[in-house]
Structure 1
């Protein structure tokens, strides 16, 4: 207990140095449009659920003109509206993920073509050779309608569109933001299948910070098991193995538990992160892992966050007395984002 109080005191000191002296924190200033887009009033309230939360243009010619003007690729969604459960699930899931929405709206010209309508929609289908009355399909094309990356038709995968966007950015000479790299890594790991291992240690505050910095680790959770402080770790076995995790952490006195049963969660996950305003910003599990590890080392996690997440953080800091809920551990990122943005806009 004394050791934890000492850690808390040191953390409070480093957090003060890190977060109370703006001149020492390098942060890219969000543009006004980005700031506005983080708030709920800019969401597309009239979007049918098949289209998610993206602000779509509905005319291919208008998208072409915008792409030429802004020098951006066009991200074209071919979607059935109203559509089947595959279509609504894609809209409510992939196309409502806050970071996917942000990447689409920031780096591409979003255009939606209804694949079950006539007129200009039918003409657009014919131009690209897309079938009518089909499941969701995404293409990323240049202003001349040539493909930047291969057609994406796996509506069951969120990773595919994120990987496609990242590849398109690379092919068009645009640097990929760190938040999009982390999102691709996490989605690939989850869709491929995670493995779980539990490790015991003297202090799960430091243990969670240690594991959160290891490549391949996607999610950490502190707790208790068999009378010991432990951290349950979910990881991508294609990047790191259970044995490798044990080898990497053994010098710190961390040991592998023989079983995962009997685990009881601690009430205060991501301890280092929870002592800062970052706890109010919705993050993916991987973002939170990495951010907690950085804060535990006295470093800023801003590089891991998107411009809209940083915009939310700025709004939060402007009203420190407002009562807020911690977003650490929230699985429903879209809902958590709406709640935070709603509070920030008041």
Structure 2
């Protein structure tokens, strides 16, 4: 690991279509490993070399650090090329998978039988994560909290259900603490607007709405002013148009001043962990084993709070 940014290594011999996961390439070896480790097999049927859909799937979904971790930790990863002969062709014929196709995920037991529905949707992280969650349940494994958090976050972002607005208050550190716990809020950020402290709020429109968040924020004393993307002042609802926004250098104050600041996290993880620390709760339950391993590396001293986990995870 490195204090200069990227933390974890990966198999650089992987074709781009395979992402950062360490895959087995032999079906029989995967069946044997599944029986020995009592874990299901996650099979990626992939075109290698592949089209833009295939390379994007590898670069995006199969390279997300938390997706890579759960696949390598809870499954036997097996990749079968759908445009090759020999052993690969034998397996795609066994599962009646089309050749030269877009990426498909199947999750099977030690006998090669599907334990969840075939997943052909290669466009969205949330679809892959949902299949993983279902497979963990079907195989009797505990669903890691970090996977539940990632599914919530990616489902909102994939389906464009996220909206944002800003609340002004006397202390944005308190604001992040109080607003971050509201159901449906997936992200908060401390900053300034019109020279005053505000909290930027990103929320899931399926699980909450602006009125509900404002009501709860007012009860906590964190809604002195409301700024939303409107064209003119809404006098009836006391909503003002958004002005120029500037992020505070100490966004996520409680996280930034804790030992957990060195761990790269997702947007929702940061919000949840910041809140947990502020109320004295153990934040480790919301993080993956590999994320927590960063704490044990004495060379990891860089504050990662402002970074995207995908941008800084790999070296």
What TM-score do you get using the length of structure 1 for normalisation? 0.82
Is 1:186 equivalent to 2:162 in the alignment?
Answer: no
- From 325, 332, 336, give the equivalent of 2:302: 325
Q: CA deviation at 1:266?
A: 1.1
Q: Is the CA contact (8 Å cut-off) linking 1:212 and 1:293 kept in structure 2? A: yes
CA distance in 2, matches of 1:89, 1:152: 16
DSSP 3-state at the match of 1:100: helix
| Aligned: 1:236 with 2:204 | yes
Following superposition, the deviation at residue 286 of structure 1 comes to 0.4
Aligned position for 1:106: 73
Alpha-carbon shift at residue 323 of structure 1 (Å): 7.4
TM-score (norm 2): 0.90
1:1-16 correspondence runs (5 A): none
- State the partner residue of 2:220: 252
1-structure distance, mates of 2:290, 2:151: 18
Q: Is residue 194–residue 243 contact of structure 2 (8 Å, CA) maintained in 1? A: no
Partners of 1:259 and 1:72 in 2: how far apart? 53
**Separation in 2, partners of 1:299, 1:108:** 30
Asked if the contact 1:77/1:113 (under 8 Å) is kept, the reply is yes
Equivalent residue for 1:269, pick from 251, 256, 260: 251
Listed as ranges, the matches of 1:19-38 within 5 Å are none
Q: Deviations over 1:276-301 (max 9, x none)?
A: 12111000010000000111112220
Question: Structure 1, unaligned stretches of length 5 or more?
Answer: 1-37, 340-346
Q: Structure 2 unaligned segments of length 5 or more: list them.
A: 1-5, 228-239
Matched, 1:172 2:136: no
Q: Which residue of 2 aligns with 1:160?
A: 127
| Structure (1/2) with the larger helix percentage | 1
Question: Superposition RMSD on alpha carbons, in Å?
Answer: 1.5
The count of corresponding residues between Structure 1 and Structure 2 is: 295
Is the Cα–Cα contact under 8 Å of residues 173 and 253 in structure 2 kept in the other structure? yes
TM-superposed CA distance for 1:325, in Å, is 2.6
List 4+ stretches of structure 1 deviating above 4 A: none
Structure 1 stretch 114-123 or stretch 165-174: which is displaced more? 165-174
Structure 1 CA distance for aligned equivalents of residues 81 and 142 of structure 2: 31
